Amino acid sequence: MTQIQKNLAAIKAQLPDGVELVAVSKFHPVEALQQAYDAGQRVFGESRAQELVVKFRQMPADTCFHFVGHLQRNKVRAVVPCVGMIESVDSVALLRLIDQEAARAGRSVDVLLEVHVATEAAKTGFSVDELMRNAAAGELSGFDNVRICGLMAMASFTDNMDQVAQEFDKAHEAFLRLKKGIFHDHPEFCSLSMGMTDDWPVAVKHGSTMVRIGTAIFGMRQ
């Protein structure tokens, strides 16, 4: 077993059933992804359009890529054919554009809405209020080529795990409110993506169904 395969096995052994693992492979070479793939990992996270497209072409056909970075509008067309999911939808305009481009590509794209719960202003995403307002105004429904599968959130970059837990709780509450109120417990609205290398055990305790782990699997990024 390679180091990457050992790291992967160690994380999988700790992840509860029902929590999906996205192996965040951004900035790592395709050989690193291939090692994880050979150990059974199929879902990978990438944050740059060009890098995603290149890796998509190189990896086996049953590899599933999640886009997790900030998606610029002019990159949507390139990204849509290569992704199983876009986790970082941070505006209604982007949601509409993905729907259009997915229609053009003759496919349907799964997305998560990114909700901003961290204290850092730099992090992107809808505020909880914006999300609820958009939902109430019908802005989150009626798409033919995107399926809204849940929410994605990032906690503040801090050692204070109480604060991190509170932020995850906030995202979890928003998720449950939308699930009941707008998506009426529709089975496809089922994913709450939160938790990274430094905080995923906290995220899992606070409602996460999908963790995005990079460094703990692949090591430090260049």
Ligand X SMILES: *Cc1c(COP(=O)(O)O)cnc(C)c1O
Binding site for ligand X (CB under 6 A): 24, 26, 47, 68-69, 154, 196-198, 212-216
For ligand X, the closer of residues 24 and 164 by Cβ is: 24
Distance in angstroms (rounded) separating the CA atoms of residues 21 and 146: 22
Distance of closest approach, residue 131 Cβ to ligand X, in angstroms = 18
CA atoms within 13 A on the CB side of 112: 30
Provide the minimum distance between the beta carbon of 106 and ligand X in the complex, in angstroms, as a whole number.
28
Distances (CA, A) of 216 to 4, 155, 157, 200, 205: 9, 17, 16, 11, 19
Nearer to ligand X, 13 or 220 (CB): 220
CB of 47 to ligand X, least distance (A): 5
Q: Which residue is at the shortest CB distance from ligand X?
A: 214
| Residue linked to tokens 């052994």 | 13
Q: How far is CA 217 from the centre of its chain?
A: 17
Smallest distance from the beta carbon of 72 to ligand X, in angstroms?
15
Given the complex with ligand X, which of 4 and 182 has the nearer CB atom? 4
* 59 phi/psi in degrees, rounded to 5: -85, 160
Instruction: Choose between 71 and 95: whose C-beta lies nearer to ligand X.
Output: 71
